[in-house]
Amino acid sequence: EPEVTQTPSHQVTQMGQEVILRCVPISNHLYFYWYRQILGQKVEFLVSFYNNEISEKSEIFDDQFSVERPDGSNFTLKIRSTKLEDSAMYFCASSEAAGVTYGYTFGSGTRLTVV
Amino acid sequence: AQKITQTQPGMFVQEKEAVTLDCTYDTSDPSYGLFWYKQPSSGEMIFLIYQGSYDQQNATEGRYSLNFQKARKSANLVISASQLGDSAMYFCAMRGDTDKLIFGTGTRLQVFP
């Protein structure tokens, strides 16, 4: 079964450093997302991406965050200057299409720890 | 605005028994989809079951079924014949006219022998 692949599975970084989280969505999917889950809390929407541009972003997704699809397969989330409160599990997801009947396929997540 | 409410932070069930995890939602969108995901301790999000707002029948997938009551705006997940491997966090989520999936706060299910 096709899957969404995320790397790395764990990342530890120092406060103020830049991190790039990588994702390979399912090949025929057109919509891409990043979500985050602070430990023990709910899953929060960060950003959606379609046709090489951001289609929606949340209040969390401030200027420190950016997304990119540098080639035909990768989808990345960059945090420019990490803060302690960025420590969370970050999930990439993809969807074949927009519309209420289409679910997301999630990757296994990247656990980011900022020290 | 869309909202998902899961009022049970934790549930216990004995192996082989059935359990119902509650989910209520609020939306003004005429059509929407409701999803349940399982998150084991390893952290990944596993899709379990989907219910469309216009579906006449309740969704079923193996041991999972969704008790959809549109007038009450509820979409409860029923797990029949619980197994030890069902111990996990369960999230109800909704996708409406906006593209994003909105999640509830989750219910931690513990299955004991």
Q: Residue B100's pLDDT is what?
A: 87
Query: Given A31, A42, A50, which is nearest B105 (Cβ)?
Result: A42
Cα–Cα distance for residue pair B76/B73, rounded to 1 Å: 10
Q: Residue A98's pLDDT is what?
A: 80
Q: Residue A113's pLDDT is what?
A: 97
Bridge partner residues of A65 (DSSP): A79
Does residue A11 surpass a pLDDT of 80? yes
Q: Do A103 and B106 touch (CB under 8 A)?
A: no
B59 DSSP 8-state letter: P
Bridge partner residues of A24 (DSSP): A5
Distances (CA, A) of A91 to A80, B19, B81: 18, 28, 30
In chain B, which residues have their Cβ closer than 8 Å to the Cβ of A106? Answer: 37, 44-47
Q: Do B33 and A48 touch (CB under 8 A)?
A: no
User: pLDDT, tens digit, for every residue of A58-111?
Assistant: 999 999 999 999 887 899 999 999 999 999 999 999 998 887 778 889 999 999
Distances (CA, A) of A25 to A31, A52, A69, B22, B103: 9, 14, 10, 31, 21
Q: Which two tokens stand for residue B82?
A: 């619980």
Q: Residue A53's pLDDT is what?
A: 93
* Strand A19-24 versus strand A105-106 pairing type: unpaired
Does residue A19 surpass a pLDDT of 80? yes
